[in-house]
Amino acid sequence: MTRPTFHDFKKKALRDPGVRAEYESLSAAYHLRKKLIGLRKKAGLTQEELAKRLNTQKSNISRLENVNSKISPKLSTIEEYAKAVGFKLELDFVPQKTIKPHHNRINSD
C-alpha cells in the first residue's frame, strides 16, 4: 500500500462539510488572487513596478496577491490594481443555485 497523496487528502477533506464550506468560502478570494497575479504577469510587470504605479510598496502588493493572506481587500483596492494592469473591474451577481450538491461530487480544482 502506498502513501496517501495530497490529492487523496484533499479529496477526503472536501467530503467534510465543514472543510468544504471553508474551501468554498475561501475560493472567491483565492481565485481572485490567482487572477490578479495572472493579469500582472500578462502586463509584464513585477510587483515592484506595479507598486510604483500604485504609489505603494512591493510588500503590499505581495500581501494582496498572496494566497495565504487573510485579508479581504477593499473594492477600491482591487479596482485600482485592475486599472494599473489595464483592466476594468466588473461585478456580476449570479443567482445562487440552491440545488443540493451530489454527495460525492468533488471539485476538480
Long-range contacts of 50-57 (CB under 8 A, 24+ apart): 50/81, 50/84, 50/85, 53/84, 54/80, 54/81, 54/84
Q: Which does 28 bind (CB under 5 to 8 A by kind): its own copies, DNA, none?
A: its own copies
Q: Which does 107 bind (CB under 5 to 8 A by kind): its own copies, DNA, none?
A: none
Which residues contact its own copies by CB under 8 A?
A: 28-29, 32, 35, 39, 72-79, 82-83, 86-96, 98
Which residues contact DNA by CB under 7 A?
A: 41, 46-48, 54-60, 62-66, 68, 70-74, 76-77
Distances (CA, A) of 109 to 5, 53, 63: 16, 33, 23
Q: Are 47 and 62 in contact (CB under 8 A)?
A: yes
Q: How far is the CB of 9 from DNA (least distance, A)?
A: 20
Beta carbon nearer to its own copies, 12 or 83: 83
